A and B are shown apart, each in its own frame.
Chain A
């Protein structure tokens, strides 16, 4: 099942306009450079709180962010990618990680509890209790009638209250898109050790359309497009976590590097120059964002 090409239609990238593909890549790129800045700040001990990095997994959030608009967003603890690709300002996240009052929760919540409620974005903060966002997303869809996206991990999928809440969404036909970011890990324990069943099968048996798909962003858009007209629905995305569960360490080379694969695909499609420009622009932007002198000023206070 789990593979970098699972349920990815052949030559799928070609079916999408270049503009959309490049927007998606730009968001992935911006996110990657941001987390490189985070890693550097952790090494330099400017960030002293735990950080939950999503590098390696970001293609799914980038794909979703181009496809679903005006959704209420309920993400989990590992959500730098969701926050940034959906348009959360990088400087507010940086400040949150630094514990500054200009952060997204005045520096009180940190990496695993991101929220943002401005500029037309409604991203509700997590508290770090795994799976808690799933019943909340369902209740928010019930209470508001608005389209809602709920993003959680393969570990969260096992929480008893998670599929109970998905069942409620099915019963009441609530407009929720459930997205499982399946990195095959709950901290360091792989799925096969933890359970014999598939959350996609569970979702299906609850009465909602459900698919497994690798994190190829074009394939994610393709399936999201089909599912989002038929909510509630469930999509399980196979991804590879690049770093430790918490912190900036690396255990082993991930099974695949989606970022590199997307770059290669864009080059194949003739966008070499465009991605060079995006890379360069983003790198410079993030260098300024994480500029040591600027950073150290508020930190000295």
Chain B
């Protein structure tokens, strides 16, 4: 442990599923352009889909309906707007409507800084619809856990991956302090920036708890989330997706509701992610997290 990257973990899970589980993996250009950042194994059971986003997702859902537990690879999360219909309208609804589940593991990769339709993080949309499990694993251990949960249950699962995490080998522990001023809850790629932001804030005499969130839905309000907040009495949820109607605000609301303490949200601005700086509307980085906390505490 500690040696394997997230990418290697995904590749190994996929290999096991295809070779030992009668699994199937579908996606576009999965065997070209570097095998999706080296996350796809070169084994039998890989189906190259043509550029038919809606039909492709429907075909993957059909394979799930006959029990193949497909891994459906989406190279850029923005395409989920097209892929979404069979997932939302069929896979997520079939269990409640018909008592028949449609377990499909949707690997949705996010990126940063490559323009308006390749830099999106769309997990919030899927939290909105009943029937999904939604998670955003950023470490090898978290990814293994996500897969375990998928195999132990029969729900369709949206796995919000981020390319910034693929070379990561480290697990990330929560950091809590007795006299913290604020608890920072982080989701997706901002998790890699929050530690440095907390160090900068520490230099200003501000002590931050850091709590990592992997499971977005169902969002289980547990002691690990509530205890640091009941001590710091102030929280901030930081996410890589848009703030309006997004995971950050939704989870902030849950935490406030459960504790009565104010919890703020920090996600993307309500602006298009253009290709060129300074119009990229980037994911909250160290500086933005630092500035936001300073503002809140003023």
**A161 touching B62 by the CB < 8 A rule?**
no
CB atoms of A135 and B55 under 8 A apart: yes
Asked whether A136 and B70 contact (CB < 8 A) given A143-B63, A161-B58, A168-B49, the answer is: no
B2 contacts which chain A residues (CB < 8 A)? none
Known interface pairs A105-B97, A113-B98, A139-B65. Does A129 touch B89 (Cβ–Cβ under 8 Å)?
yes
Q: Are A140 and B89 in contact (CB under 8 A)?
A: no
Is residue B21 within 8 Å, beta carbon to beta carbon, of the partner chain? no
| Complex CA–CA separation, A221 to B57 (angstroms) | 33
A-contacting residues, B46-61, CB 8 Å: 47, 49-50, 52, 54-61
Q: List, in ascending order, chain B residues with CB within 8 A of A144's CB.
A: 66, 68
- The number of chain A residues with a CB under 8 A from chain B is 33
Question: Is the beta-carbon distance between B54 and A160 smaller than 8 angstroms?
Answer: yes
Is B140 part of the binding interface, using a Cβ–Cβ cutoff of 8 Å?
A: no
Cα A122 to Cα B99 in complex, Å, equals: 14
For the complex formed, measure the closest distance between the CB of B69 and the CB atoms of chain A, giving whole angstroms: 10
Are A139 and B58 in touch, CB under 8 angstroms? yes
**Listed residue (A108, A125, A141, A160) with the most chain B CB atoms within 10 angstroms of its CB:** A125
Q: A225 contacts the other chain (Cβ, under 8 Å)? A: no
Interface residue range, chain B: 20 to 34
- A165 and B59 contact, Cβ closer than 8 Å, known pairs A125-B97, A132-B89, A135-B86: yes
Considering only residues 118-159 of chain A, those with a C-beta below 8 Å from chain B are: 124-125, 127, 129, 132, 134-144, 146
In the bound complex, do residue A164 and residue B62 qualify as a contact, i.e. CB atoms below 8 Å apart? no
- A105: B residues at CB distance < 8 A: 97-99
Q: Does B58 lie within 8 Å of A136, measured CB to CB? A: yes
CB of A79 within 8 Å of the partner chain: no
B49 to chain A: closest residue by CB: A168
- By the criterion CB–CB under 8 Å, are B47 and A108 in contact? no
**Interface residue A82 (Cβ < 8 Å from any Cβ of B):** no
Neighbouring B residues of A160 by C-beta, 8 Å: 54-55
Interface residues in chain A, defined as those with a beta carbon under 8 Å from any beta carbon in chain B: 72, 105-106, 108-109, 113, 115, 117, 124-125, 127, 129, 132, 134-144, 146, 160-162, 164-165, 167-168, 171
**25 examples of A-B residue contacts, CB within 8 angstroms:** A106-B99, A115-B100, A117-B100, A125-B98, A127-B90, A129-B89, A134-B55, A134-B58, A135-B54, A135-B59, A135-B62, A136-B65, A139-B59, A139-B62, A139-B66, A140-B62, A140-B63, A143-B63, A143-B70, A146-B66, A161-B54, A167-B50, A167-B52, A168-B49, A168-B59
Known: A142-B24, A144-B68. 20 other contacts (CB 8 A): A105-B98, A115-B100, A129-B85, A134-B55, A135-B59, A135-B62, A136-B62, A136-B86, A136-B90, A137-B62, A138-B58, A139-B61, A142-B47, A143-B62, A144-B66, A161-B52, A161-B55, A164-B54, A165-B52, A171-B50
B interface residues with partner A (beta carbon < 8 Å): 24, 47, 49-50, 52, 54-68, 70, 85-86, 89-90, 93-94, 96-100
